[in-house]
Amino acid sequence: MDRNLAIELVRVSEFAALAASKHIGRGNEKAADQAAVDAMRKCLNSLTITGTVVIGEGERDEAPMLYIGEEVGAGGPELDIALDPLEGTSITANGGENAMAVIALAQKGGFLNAPDVYMKKISANTNNQKVISLQQDLKSNIKDLAQFKKINIEDLVICILNRERHKDDIETIRSSGARIKMIDDGDVSAVISSVIDSSNINMYYGIGGAPEGVLAAAALQCLGGSIEGQLIFYNDQEISRAKKTGITDLDRFYSLDDLAQGDIVFSATGVTDGTMLKGVKITKNYAETHSIVMRSKTGTIRHINGEHNFLIKQLDY
């Protein structure tokens, strides 16, 4: 994959983040998402690629979407695309933390064609060693991770989505002695934070979106760290949706390489301030952005600070 494409990809996440930033704290999730989708689509169509969206916004929340199967780009190498124009729609609408625009590119077949259902995930930085797994209980994972990191269980911080479905898991974490960081949204950012040494999160655990699991895995192929996922189905309609995408083993546990593999380019731009990225800062006619762009092939990680002139009539894509 052309290394210049990595820099071009930053433009895509930047302009989606800029568009979404105008809706921070305004209480309208759909307007924020629509703005990010429109900006990302327009910018993607300027890239010299022949891209197919394989991980896009789904049907579950009836959001405006860059839909699975949509073709984008101005022509060029055939690539698969995983994206979330605005990860954290409610975060943005409420002015919270860790909202960002996210996109990843891979060669054909590089991403699991995950259906829009839920996925149980576990992730941590274990230096490519088999330490944690969904195939054992949560308390054992906590104990094993503490032993691997050579710290007390009481010093571990487990990140989990604040959802009713996690009630028993939250009790298990607390009874083990570990601490909890509860989040309302944004599990891509949370998974990434669980493998970054500068973060205070040691493990991510719980059930979130399957598409977000693939996006997070794309980032982990560039950063390092481990993730395991298992699709969760709540009704026959979701099972049917999975079978249409080629899923045959409904109980399968997916490793990092199962979720994302090969030459991957990943870019994310902060919409609101977060653990990994600073949010968009608007001053008079200028806006500042903070992005991270990574390549799995080279292991390169770049932080890019951009300054954007809002005097330009409609953003220059």
Distance CA 124, CA 191 (A): 8
pLDDT one-digit tens code per residue, 126-157: 988 999 999 999 999 999 999 999 999 999 99
Q: Which two tokens stand for residue 159?
A: 């990140």
pLDDT one-digit tens code per residue, 201-256: 999 999 999 999 999 999 999 999 999 999 999 999 999 989 988 999 999 999 99
Sign of the C-alpha dihedral computed for residues 233, 217, 92 and 59 taken in this order: negative
Residue 52 lies in a domain: yes
pLDDT higher for 69 or 79?
79
Q: Which two tokens stand for residue 79?
A: 């690539």
- The domain that holds 23 is classified in CATH as 3.30.540.10
Together in a domain, 82 and 58: yes
pLDDT bucket at 65, cuts 50 / 70 / 90: confident
* Conformation bin of residue 153: beta by default, left when phi > 0, alpha when psi is -120 to 50: alpha
Together in a domain, 202 and 128: yes
pLDDT value of residue 64: 59
Percent of the residues in the chain that have a pLDDT greater than 90, as a whole number: 82
Can you give the pTM of this predicted structure? Answer: 0.93
63: pLDDT strictly greater than 70: no
- The domain that holds 231 is classified in CATH as 3.40.190.90
pLDDT value of residue 310: 66
pLDDT one-digit tens code per residue, 171-203: 999 999 999 999 998 899 999 999 998 899 999
Residue 317 lies in a domain: no
Q: Which two tokens stand for residue 266?
A: 């990943």
> How confident is the model over 42-66, as a mean pLDDT?
80
Together in a domain, 123 and 141: yes
E strands, 22-91, in order: 50-55, 71-72, 78-87
- Number of domains composing the chain: 2
